[in-house]
Amino acid sequence: MKFFCAVLCAATLLLPGRAMAGQSWEDQSTDTALLAADRAVSAPAGFAARAMPEPYVGSGAAAARAFFTNFVATMPSANSVPCFTCVNGTQAGTLGMDDPYNYVATGSSQTFLVSWTSLTFKGSCTVAISVASGSKVIESFKHTFSNLGTGAYDAWFVSQPVNFAGAAIVAGKVTCGGKTSSSKAPIVFQ
């Protein structure tokens, strides 16, 4: 019986890898990143997580979808950005950020940003960021924001330098009330 369980357990562990073997590198990286986002641990000390609402009132067919992810972006970490209501000329309701630059120089930290819009959802949302290359998870973290109302939100995490070189996929995933929405982008580490 122990042998049967060992064979069954080994087969179960190997099947997902084999199912992903026929995928393109990008599809495999995306699947790995989204799975890692589901399993991400809460952002530890050293990571910053913030969200800022921009009021929005949804109506009609547009409000049929409770929330959705707008985009995920990555940029070199810099003082004072991202920032809210800080863009000269039209400050109210703006997001100031460095030019999204998905190239990471060796030894540099990155800021990962996820933007989402809540048309009708009110409650807690978990925002996860994960970076993967093929089946390798490079980093993954999440944060839960409580008592959110409708509006446009931006959340960012500042990461520490990672020990990786090559192409990867960064995925941002927002989960509110058991439903999810995600976005992805390529990223290259020097």
* Whole-number pLDDT of residue 124: 93
Q: Which residues pair with 113 in a beta bridge?
A: 73, 156
Evaluate the omega torsion of the peptide bond into residue 100 and state whether it is cis, within 30 degrees of 0: no
CATH 2.60.40.10 corresponds to the domain 24-189: yes
* Whole-number pLDDT of residue 109: 83
Q: How far is it, in rounded angstroms, from Cα 128 to Cα 69?
A: 12
Place of tokens 């990555």: 74
Q: How far is it, in rounded angstroms, from Cα 186 to Cα 63?
A: 30
One pLDDT digit (tens) per residue for the chain, 190 residues: 333 333 333 333 333 443 455 889 889 988 888 888 888 777 665 455 556 666 665 566 665 788 899 889 888 877 666 776 777 776 566 677 766 778 888 888 888 888 888 888 889 999 998 999 999 999 888 888 888 888 888 888 888 888 999 999 999 999 999 999 999 999 999 9
* Whole-number pLDDT of residue 180: 94
The CB-side HSE value for 42 (13 A sphere, CA atoms) comes to 4
Q: Where are the domains of the chain?
A: 24-189
